[in-house]
Structures are given as C-alpha cells and as structure tokens.
C-alpha cells in the first residue's frame, strides 16, 4: 500500500490519499491522470488492469485501488 501512495503522490502530490474517498467523483484525478496511474500500477505490481475494472468505484480511494491490485495479483 505504501508504494501505491507514493505512485499516487507522484501524479497528484497535494491530495491526502489516506483519507480521500472521492478521487474520481471529486475530480482530483482526471482522465490523463488515470491513464498514467493505470500504466504505473501495471508496471509496478506486474498486473493487467482490464478495461472493465477502470471504473470510479475502483479508483475513488487508495484503499479501493489496493483492493483492486490485490485481487488482480491473486487472479494471475
């Protein structure tokens, strides 16, 4: 989870990712940020994020992202 927070902070450093639960809904991350984030996460965690998983629910918080990463790692 710590590495995930570091990656998020590289993309948007001014957000408190430990408490923010509306990264998408609150417009903290835009579409370009999400594309960058997906690429970073796939490389860092050796996963592939399917298009069907690129939805606000999975990207609204660091916790939700970590749940997605963990699930995808377990499935591979």
Domain of residue 9 covers 2-75
For residues 3 and 44, what is the distance between their CA atoms, to the nearest angstrom? 9
Residue 15 has pLDDT above 90, yes or no: yes
3-class SS shares of the chain: helix, strand, coil, % to 5: 60, 0, 40
For residues 39 and 33, what is the distance between their CA atoms, to the nearest angstrom? 10
Q: What is the pLDDT of residues 38-74, one digit of tens each?
A: 999 999 999 999 999 999 999 999 999 999 999 999 9
pLDDT at 76: 87
Q: What is the pLDDT of residues 28-44, one digit of tens each?
A: 999 999 999 999 999 99
Sign of CA dihedral 41, 69, 8, 27: positive
Tokens for 75? 């499935």
Report the domain count for the chain: 1
């Amino acid at each position: 989870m710590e590495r995930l927070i570091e990656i998020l902070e590289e993309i948007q450093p001014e957000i408190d990712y430990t408490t923010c639960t509306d990264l998408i809904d609150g417009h903290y991350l835009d579409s370009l940020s999400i594309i960058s984030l997906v690429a970073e996460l796939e490389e860092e965690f050796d996963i592939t994020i399917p298009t069907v998983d690129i939805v606000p629910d999975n990207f609204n918080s660091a916790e939700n992202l970590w749940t997605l990463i963990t699930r995808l790692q377990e499935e591979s």
